[in-house]
Amino acid sequence: MDSLANGGRCDRECLRTSPADTQSAGDRFYSRFRTLLADAIVNPSIPSAAAILLTGAALVSQGRQSAGWTLCGTAYRMVIDMGCHLSTDTSHSHLRTGGVSEIEVDIEREWRRRLYWGALVTDATQSMYLGRQVTLRPSQGRVSQMLLDHYEELEEWSPLIDEAQSPGSNALLLAYRPRPAYAVSTFNALVKLAMISTRITQTFYSIDCVKSSPDTLWQTKADIEGDLSDWLSELPTHLRLDFDKHVPPPHQITPHTTYHVLNILLRRPFLEGGYLQDSTIADAGPSNDQSCTDSALAIWKLVSAYRDTFTLRRSPFLLSYAVYSAVVVILRQSKNAPPDHFQDAIGFFLTALSELQRGCNFGLRRPVAIIRDMMAELGSTQPPQYQPENQSAFSSILEMCSFDPNSQYAPNNAASGMEGCTFAQFEPLPHDFFNVLDDQEQNIVNDPLYGLFAQEPGGYNFQAG
């Protein structure tokens, strides 16, 4: 969010190690970062923790999930080591020893609050994206969400215009009228979603869920549904979206796509074929299905407005995750719908994934592989023909994944139609993975939405170097 709130990612070729390779952007910075990292780790500081956190998040979106997750884990521990997760902090000693004014103490406290909540949001979003339990649990922190510095709340936001590029490539961005950033209130809204997200992943996407009774799971689901409803109803007026009036800055759209992703993640285990379907109250299945479909179509509308206004080449990985979540839901629903009912939506999402992969989110190979498997299972081997962009988008999707016939990602050619399609098993993990878990636990691991980049057997490097 920080990069978007400050104008967005820069596409200049001079920032790339290889001018022709967009994925080499930032490599020189990362090399220098690694050189300085050793000293920073042994001397924790607020600037170092923030730098490690931002770099780790950037690496995740670039497809370097292991490096990004490890770096962010280091930042989380720095945050805890410095006591940023507590209301009281070491700055009290500054006043006793003298030499530091009260305003300097307040500034340090503000830094600590922002660092803690920024780390918690990063932790919660990566937990969904990577399928790993959170490190910073809200119940273990005692930090106020009240931020004192609201200077950036009413700053004007306008997209970064790279004058080195042709006017044509910047046409959409040049046409955008600057609007208030509302950075603080947007951040606070994301913090609340992060805490809801943590509760969802801990309750329904961890091994603990197999220990809970159906009544407990259903009650928790109802409670979280209430939390999501409250989040939406309590949004400040200036953060409510009305695309008929204007399209807000991109970082104000992301909380809304995330809200719908959480709605999908909350209900998905209770759907037909989900690993908690036995906990579903009779007659609740159709409402869960419809709610997921409504959220997927809402994501379509949100991402479409985002794309038409800003393009997708600078969008955060949370938006990529929203697109992926929506297309998984739509593909699932298309099984029982008329052939052309969701063609527009599917065509749009394929196009969006292709554009995201060509932008700053070039770590989407595995999600695309899962979608290709799903389309093969459904028999959707051809994209809709009445949208010209879809054919090229579909080709780009296929080119992202060059499959070995023996690859675990290879489509199952035996299933040429929609019959016999088991949606709870689309995540292409070996059946003996986590063989100490029972069948229900295996289904959690195999869920195609939670944890796109969980490490697989054989993917670890046991050699030093």
Spell out the per-residue pLDDT of the chain, length 465, in tens. Answer: 445 444 455 566 666 666 666 666 677 888 889 999 988 998 999 999 999 999 999 888 888 889 999 999 999 999 999 999 987 654 444 545 556 788 888 889 999 999 999 999 999 999 988 888 899 998 888 899 888 888 899 999 999 887 777 777 788 888 999 999 999 999 999 999 999 999 999 999 888 777 888 888 889 999 999 999 999 999 999 999 999 899 999 999 999 999 999 999 999 888 877 777 766 665 566 788 899 999 999 999 999 999 999 988 888 889 989 999 999 999 888 877 777 788 899 889 888 888 887 776 666 667 777 777 777 777 644 444 434 354 554 555 555 444 443 433 333 333 333 333 333 333 333 333 333 234 444 444 455 555 554 544 444 443 444
Do the domain assignments include residue 157? Answer: yes
- Owning domain of residue 409: 2-445
Cα torsion at 411, 415, 416, 417 (round to 10°)?
Answer: -120
Q: Is 197 exposed, middle or buried (0-12, 13-18, 19+ CB in 10 A)?
A: buried
Pairing type for strands 179-180 and 156-157 reads: antiparallel
Helix (H) or strand (E) holding 308: helix 285-310
In a domain? residue 451: no
Reference 409, options 428, 431, 430; nearest CA is: 428
Q: Is residue 461 part of a domain?
A: no
**pTM of the complete model:** 0.80
Q: Which helix (H) or strand (E) holds 214?
A: helix 214-233
| H-helix segments, 62-182 | 65-81, 92-97, 102-130, 171-174
25 phi, psi to nearest 5 deg: -60, 130
Establish if 452 belongs to a structural domain. no
Q: Is residue 450 part of a domain?
A: no
Whether residue 464 lies inside any domain: the answer is no
- Residue 205 counted as domain residue: yes
**How many domains does the chain fold into?**
1
CA-nearest of 282, 302, 178 to 241 is 302
Distance between CA 437 and CA 233 in Å, rounded?
A: 40
SS3 assignment, position 161: coil
Residue written as tokens 């923030």? 50
Residue 463 belongs to a domain: no
